[in-house]
């Protein structure tokens, strides 16, 4: 590296890129066109794949959603008919409402748990923080399907071990997969089990990058633990909290695997339990690909509107993300 530096000094001053960039004339243009060309070359491979495996399928779904395939007459253009069907169907909205309730509970609880442990480990309030952080991170390595299988067995009634523990303690039998609140509650518990540790690790490292002197000056001013956390640390990691918040909302609104796996042990997961299960059933069981495309578009739009308004809300408070 030192060799590079020496040669830099020997090079003609006008050829130094930093000088060229600040200057005018053909050299600056040549420099810019070179970086322009190579910048595009470097991002090209990703964008080719991005185009083929993300952009084109999305636009294909959009195109498809304006057609209807009939047994007689083949595929015909029907405009917004599929969207009308989706938006006026109780089946879609019941699943959507259930998913909203799920997200409204799961995401805040998850963020609170993750933030609590992240700050406690960061400040060194809990003992053996490093050990706990490793343990909490383990579920990240477990595929959602396997998590669903494990929790299905754990929550099974009456053979499941959790039910047996409750029964032995005198609590009677409890159907964790009972329709309505018990089932949704169980899915929330599974999702928190899966994601709390990962979210905690992200927030923990964000907290770690808060400079010591900021905390120090607060402590010198006489701030106690609670004050340091709420007034110094958390405001500084607000962008990281927003980011994990958005990613969790997006994930929560796409809920599919956990309830789908639970169908093996319970009949309480209906064909429209979540919008994603509904769209899957429309596409495969009912072979209504065009309607499924419209559902996926409506769902994507709802997710985008919610995430963007979440970002906007934070922006108004002066944050950049």
Partner 1 sequence: MTVAAVARPSAGPRAKSARRREDPSVVPLRLYGLRRGTVVAVTALAVVFAIFTLIPIWWIFVNSTKTEPNLFATFGFWFAHPFRLFSNMREIFANQSQGSLAQWFRNTVIYAFCGGAGATILSATAGYGFAKFRFRGNHALFMVVLSALLIPLTAVAIPLYILYAKVHMDSTMEGIILPFMVSPVGVYLMRVYISGSVPQELVDAARVDGAREASIFLRVAVPLMTPALITVFLLSVVASWNNYFLPFIVNNTTSLDPLPVGVYVWFQHSVSGGGYQDFYLYTICAGLLTIVPIIVLFLTLQRFWRGGLLLGSLTG
Verify binding: residue 28, partner 1, rule CB under 8 A. Answer: no
Least Å from the CB of residue 288 to partner 1: 11
Contact status, residue 198 vs residue 248, Cβ threshold 8 Å: no
Query: Which residue do the tokens 């994507």 mark?
Result: 300
How far is the C-alpha of 102 from the C-alpha of 107, rounded, in Å? 8
3-state secondary structure of 146: helix
Other Cβ atoms less than 10 A from the Cβ of 204: the count is: 22
How far is the C-alpha of 32 from the C-alpha of 37, rounded, in Å? 8
Least Å from the CB of residue 106 to partner 1: 15
In Å, the largest CA–CA distance within the chain is 86
Verify binding: residue 271, partner 1, rule CB under 8 A. Answer: no
What binding mask, one character per residue, do residues 96-135 give for partner 1 by CB under 8 A, x or -? -----------------x---x--x-xxxxxxx-x-x-xx
Token reading at 271: 């064909």
Query: Which residue do the tokens 């748990």 mark?
Result: 113
Pick from 216, 230, 313, 315: which binds partner 1 (CB under 8 A)?
216
Verify binding: residue 307, partner 1, rule CB under 8 A. Answer: yes
Verify binding: residue 52, partner 1, rule CB under 8 A. Answer: yes
Contact status, residue 136 vs residue 201, Cβ threshold 8 Å: yes
Least Å from the CB of residue 116 to partner 1: 8
Pick from 96, 265, 269, 273: which binds partner 1 (CB under 8 A)?
265
Verify binding: residue 268, partner 1, rule CB under 8 A. Answer: no
Pick from 96, 184, 188, 279: which binds partner 1 (CB under 8 A)?
279
> Residue 72 gets which letter from DSSP?
T
Verify binding: residue 150, partner 1, rule CB under 8 A. Answer: yes
Pick from 79, 108, 161, 171: which binds partner 1 (CB under 8 A)?
161
Which range touches partner 1 (CB under 8 A), out of 66-74, 77-85, 102-110, 256-264?
Answer: 256-264
Other Cβ atoms less than 10 A from the Cβ of 161: the count is: 11
282, 62, 96, 200 alpha-carbon torsion, rounded to 10°: 110
Pick from 15, 29, 30, 173: which binds partner 1 (CB under 8 A)?
15
174-193 residues in contact with partner 1 (CB under 8 A) are 193
Residue 108 or 239: which CB sits closer to partner 1? 239
How far is the C-alpha of 79 from the C-alpha of 85, rounded, in Å? 12
Which range touches partner 1 (CB under 8 A), out of 49-57, 69-77, 90-98, 172-180?
Answer: 49-57
Verify binding: residue 208, partner 1, rule CB under 8 A. Answer: yes
> Residue 256 gets which letter from DSSP?
-
Polymer length of the chain: 321
Least Å from the CB of residue 90 to partner 1: 21
How far is the C-alpha of 54 from the C-alpha of 59, rounded, in Å? 9
Pick from 2, 7, 88, 267: which binds partner 1 (CB under 8 A)?
7
Verify binding: residue 317, partner 1, rule CB under 8 A. Answer: no
Pick from 86, 103, 237, 291: which binds partner 1 (CB under 8 A)?
237
Contact status, residue 144 vs residue 194, Cβ threshold 8 Å: yes
């Amino acid at each position: 590296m030192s060799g590079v530096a020496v040669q830099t000094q020997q090079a003609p001053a006008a050829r130094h890129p930093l000088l060229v960039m600040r200057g005018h004339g053909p050299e600056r243009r040549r420099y810019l066109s070179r970086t322009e060309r190579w910048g595009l070359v470097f991002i090209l491979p990703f964008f080719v794949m991005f185009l083929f495996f993300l952009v084109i399928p999305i636009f294909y779904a959009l195109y498809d959603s304006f057609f209807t395939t009939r047994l007689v007459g083949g595929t015909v253009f029907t405009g917004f008919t599929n969207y009308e069907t989706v938006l006026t169907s109780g089946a879609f909205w019941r699943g959507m409402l259930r998913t909203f309730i799920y997200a409204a509970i799961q995401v805040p609880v998850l963020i609170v748990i993750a933030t609590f442990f992240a700050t406690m480990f960061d400040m060194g309030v809990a003992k053996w923080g490093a050990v706990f952080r490793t343990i909490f991170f383990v579920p990240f390595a477990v595929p959602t399907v396997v998590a669903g299988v494990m929790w299905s067995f754990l929550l099974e009634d009456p053979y499941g071990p959790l039910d047996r523990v409750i029964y032995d303690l005198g609590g009677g039998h409890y159907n964790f997969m009972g329709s309505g609140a018990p089932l949704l509650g169980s899915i929330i518990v599974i999702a928190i089990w899966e994601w709390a540790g990962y979210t905690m690790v992200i927030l923990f490292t964000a907290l770690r990058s808060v400079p010591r002197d900021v905390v120090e000056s607060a402590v010198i001013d006489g701030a106690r633990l609670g004050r340091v956390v709420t007034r110094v640390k958390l405001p500084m990691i607000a962008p990281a909290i927003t980011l994990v918040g958005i990613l969790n909302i997006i994930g929560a609104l796409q809920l599919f695997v956990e309830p789908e796996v639970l169908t093996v042990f319970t009949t309480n997961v209906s064909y429209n339990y979540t919008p994603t299960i509904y769209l899957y059933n429309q596409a495969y069981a009912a072979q209504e690909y065009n309607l499924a495309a419209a559902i996926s578009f409506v769902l994507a739009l709802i997710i985008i509107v919610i995430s963007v308004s979440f970002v906007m809300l934070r922006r108004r408070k002066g944050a950049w993300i």
